[in-house]
Structure 1
């Protein structure tokens, strides 16, 4: 099978090339590009043919969405991403698989095996519609790692996120805790603000997780949440007014 790699990070591309060479004798890398512009040009060239495209979700001059908007892709597509922003949606609308960076050899083998079993390219119209829906309505799920497993967590099952000692944690309504690659700043930009509120620099809470709210140290508020956190869940003074409006459905 002929392989095109769309990746703007040199080390990530070299790592993927090495893994492909080590794991598969029948995969031939026929193209390497690092920008949306070059990917579109390569895919539009009649002499170029790829059976599989490893495509980074975010490139230096745009995203994978820009490629799908500008050209048809007949090859099977495997998304690669440091985060799961695009990967889950792409997987749902007919991308073969997604790989989180750094790429795990077992995950790579799984993705390539799926390519062998399936034919046909990406349904670009469905992908773009799904990504647009995601931007309008907020994220529906996150992909997290737990030991050697990749676990999808629905936002409806998320109680809160918090940051501690340079790590970001996701806590589910049934008390499971997972480390995330995303920062709270990134999460704040894509979560549905009707359901989630950033109460402080270190915590974002979901509305259904709030059991009660009491006054704390003057004008601040303390939240009792389900499940019970291992830290004081306190609303910052500067966010109290907006939090109360949000709690009442006014934001």
Structure 2
């Protein structure tokens, strides 16, 4: 088995390597990478490993950003000091979620889980795990605002927006909340029936669409019931998909 380690703490990486040598001496460690950028470059330039060990907090951002740039079909074992990302990890090929400090028992159980999942067959984990994940969706998001935690109901969200690596959600009253998830992670947590990924910056709620205008280049622009920080444009390529989504609302159109 060929494994890739993504971990920016030297001590943690060495500990994991030592544990792997102890519990699975046959595992070949292809590389140990320390950042999102380095990981994306490596994964784009090399064949997929058989298994990834991936820390969540890296020097240049959280490792979920890697999945935005690279299609990863190999199983992932997340290693982190935080337990609040477990659900998000489940959405992106995770077969286990190990809390630091990691010991031999943790890794042995994770590898045994991997063995049971494969059952002698090579599987496309990207498809399998995302399929399982699609059955679960968040109904309430816990938003950290200064020294408070505010529950944000899913059906109160008018749109989600990303700019300068920051993600926010706006409710139907126009209140904007900082989110600790990427737009891609939010997309996986919001039901397709009610939310649409308009472009790289926006996810919009069905109930928030006020009017649609034809724009030059066969594109569309959307106006919502609340103000948005910039114009929402649907590209020509996405127009058919968007119209199909709208037909689910108005089947007679």
TM-score between both structures, scaled by the size of structure 2: 0.50
Structure 1 101/122 Cα, relative in aligned 2: closer, same or farther at 3 Å?
farther
Aligned to 1:23: 23
Unmatched 5+ stretches in structure 1: 140-184, 195-251
Q: In 1, Cα distance between the equivalents of 2:8 and 2:109?
A: 23
Structure 1 190/58 Cα, relative in aligned 2: closer, same or farther at 3 Å?
farther
Q: In 2, Cα distance between the equivalents of 1:50 and 1:2?
A: 5
Equivalent pair of 1:7/1:34 in contact (CA under 8 Å): yes
Equivalent pair of 1:95/1:122 in contact (CA under 8 Å): no
Structure 1 72/136 Cα, relative in aligned 2: closer, same or farther at 3 Å?
farther
Aligned to 2:75: 76
1:120, CA displacement in angstroms? 2.7
1:89, CA displacement in angstroms? 3.2
Aligned to 1:203: none
Structure 1 41/134 Cα, relative in aligned 2: closer, same or farther at 3 Å?
farther
Aligned to 1:106: 105
Structure 1 126/192 Cα, relative in aligned 2: closer, same or farther at 3 Å?
farther
Listed as ranges, the matches of 1:1-251 within 5 Å are: 1-46=1-46, 48-91=47-90, 94-118=93-117, 119-123=123-127, 126=130, 137-138=141-142, 192=151
Structure 1 11/134 Cα, relative in aligned 2: closer, same or farther at 3 Å?
farther
RMSD (Å) for aligned C-alpha atoms: 3.2
1:3, CA displacement in angstroms? 0.4
Aligned residue pairs, count: 145
1:43, CA displacement in angstroms? 0.8
Equivalent pair of 1:4/1:31 in contact (CA under 8 Å): yes
Q: In 2, Cα distance between the equivalents of 1:191 and 1:104?
A: 35
For residues 71-93 of structure 1, the C-alpha deviation after alignment (integer angstroms, 9 at most, x for no partner) is 01121100111011222332366
Q: In 1, Cα distance between the equivalents of 2:85 and 2:14?
A: 22
1:52, CA displacement in angstroms? 0.3
